[in-house]
Amino acid sequence: MEVIKVNTDNFEQIVLKSEKTVLVDFYADWCGPCRMVAPIVEEIATEHPEYLVCKVNVDESQKLAIDFGLVSIPTLLAFKNGKEAGKIVGVRPKEAILEMLK
């Protein structure tokens, strides 16, 4: 699967109502560490169809960043059954991200 771009308008429908475990990458285009984690997130989307993988641009969806208490990017959140189930801040290896999704 490919990475799905979500925003304030469609976050609830796509992420919170998903039957799959969801990985959400909160990022900004200007953020160097975000650009480092992006290929890892794309690999997970391609290699693990059991997960729904999404990206939220915090500059375009500031309300979501505030709602989830983000203080730094990149922040990766895992959601299961509509609830936050894991959080990683900063660049981490793919194995750590996959472990959070289990």
**Residues marked as catalytic:** 31, 34
| Boundaries of domain holding 34 | 4-101
% of the chain surpassing 70 pLDDT = 100
Q: Provide the mean pLDDT of the chain.
A: 97
Place of tokens 């285009």: 29
Task: Indicate the pLDDT class of residue 1, thresholds 50, 70 and 90.
Answer: confident
According to the model, what pLDDT value does residue 82 have?
95
Classify strands 51-57 and 21-27 as parallel, antiparallel or unpaired.
parallel
Find out whether 88 and 76 touch, Cβ atoms under 8 Å. yes
Strand order in the sheet with 4-5: 4-5, 51-57, 21-27, 75-80, 83-89
SS3 42: helix
> What is the per-residue pLDDT across 18-55, written as a single tens digit (0 to 9) for each?
999 999 999 999 999 999 999 999 999 999 999 999 99
The CATH number of the domain holding residue 10 is 3.40.30.10
The total domain count for the chain is 1
